[in-house]
Amino acid sequence: MQVVLCALLGYFFGNINPAFIIAKFKGFDIRERGSGNAGASNTVITIGKKAGLFVALFDIFKAVAASLIAAYLFPEIRFANILSGSCCVLGHIFPVLMKFHGGKGLASLGGTILAFSPWIFAFLLGFEIILGFSADYVCVVPVTGSVIFTLIYALMTGDLVGTLILSAVSIVILLKHIQNFKRIQNGTEAHISFLWKKEQEIARIKKNTND
C-alpha cells in the first residue's frame, strides 16, 4: 500500500501542468500548436521565453517536491524518491486530467535527478548542455540523460528495483521522442538555435515541410 501511495503521490504532482494552464489563460490549447506537447520547449515556441523558463522551473521543482515528500513520508521504501519522481515524469507525460496527452518529461526527469543528488544533476546538466548545443537539438537531452542517470543510479546504489523503474521511464522517454528523431531525419525538427533565430528556423522548417 505504501508503494502504491508513493507512486500515486508522484503521478498526482506530474498532472499539474503549467504549460497547459498558461496557454488556457491565453485562450488556446498548447497541444494544438507548435510541437503539440504541453511542456517548456513548446511554451517557448508558442508563448515566449519567459513563460517557457517558468514552465521548466515549475516542472523541475514539482518532481523535486514529489521525490522529497515521498522519501519523508515513506522512509521504509528505499527507492521512494525514485519511484515518486519517476511517476511524476509519467504523470507529466500521461496526465489523466489531460486525457493522457501531456509533455515529454525532460524537466521533471531533471527534478528527479536533482532530488536524488544535486551534484549528479549539476554534472548531467553541464554534460547535456554541451551535448544538446553540439547536436543543436533538444530531443537528444532527455533520451541520453535518462539512460546515463539510470546507469549512474545502478552503479551508485545497487538498487535493482529503482534501476528497473528508471529503465522503464527511459524507454517511455525514448518512445515519446521517436517522432522528434523522424523530424530530424526529414529536416523539420526545430534546432535549439530557434531561441535566437526564430524567423530563420520557422522558414527552414516550413520549406522542408513543403518539400
- For the entire predicted model, the pTM comes to 0.89
pLDDT tens, position by position, 52-87: 999 999 999 999 999 999 999 999 999 999 999 999
Residues composing the chain: 211
DSSP for 13-68, written as a single string: HHH--HHHHHHHHTTS-GGGSTTS--SHHHHHHHT-HHHHHHHHHHHHHHHHHHHH
Alpha-carbon distance of 40 to 54, in angstroms, equals: 8
CB 31 within 8 Å of CB 93 = no
pLDDT at 89: 97
Q: What cell numbers appear for 159 in the block?
A: 538498487
Alpha-carbon distance of 168 to 41, in angstroms, equals: 23
- The one-letter amino acid code at 117 reads S
Alpha-carbon distance of 95 to 127, in angstroms, equals: 29
pLDDT tens, position by position, 7-33: 999 999 999 999 999 999 999 999 998
- CA 175 to chain centroid, in Å, comes to 13
Q: What cell numbers appear for 43 in the block?
A: 511554451
